[in-house]
Amino acid sequence: MFAALERALDESATCDVRLAPVAEFLEHIGESAHVADALRVSGQLGAMWSFATDAFARMIEQRIGSAGAVLPRTQPDHRSRQPPVSSAS
């Protein structure tokens, strides 16, 4: 899914000003609420959230790098990653 989102962003006329396909991702999540609910119930939402943040980080890093910027090599602080809090119980 993330590869398809990235390809769509590459083909977009505005790809030079966007680092990640956030709007498309949120649209996909909105259309797939039942999947998010199932991930939450099964205890897998945190793992999916981590996967998604890693995928977006790679996309952003690649786009910044392709623009000629040099990024410092650091280890990510995974402690700050928390899945979204559900308003429903």
- The answer to whether residue 20 sits within a structural domain is yes
Distance, CA of 20 to CA of 59 (rounded, Å):
6
Helix-helix angle 22-31:2-11, to 10 degrees = 130
DSSP state of 68: T
Between 58 and 2, the higher pLDDT residue:
58
- The answer to whether residue 62 sits within a structural domain is yes
- The answer to whether residue 33 sits within a structural domain is yes
- 26-77 pLDDT, tens digit per residue, is 888 889 889 989 999 999 999 988 988 888 888 888 888 777 766 566 666 6
- The answer to whether residue 36 sits within a structural domain is yes
- The answer to whether residue 41 sits within a structural domain is yes
In the chain, the number of structural domains is: 1
Distance, CA of 69 to CA of 47 (rounded, Å):
30
Largest Cα–Cα separation, the chain: 46
Q: Is the pLDDT of residue 17 over 60?
A: yes
Q: What is the pLDDT of residue 71?
A: 59
The boundaries of the domain holding residue 48 are: 2-66
CB 28 within 8 Å of CB 1: yes
Between 42 and 9, the higher pLDDT residue:
42
Between 11 and 47, the higher pLDDT residue:
47
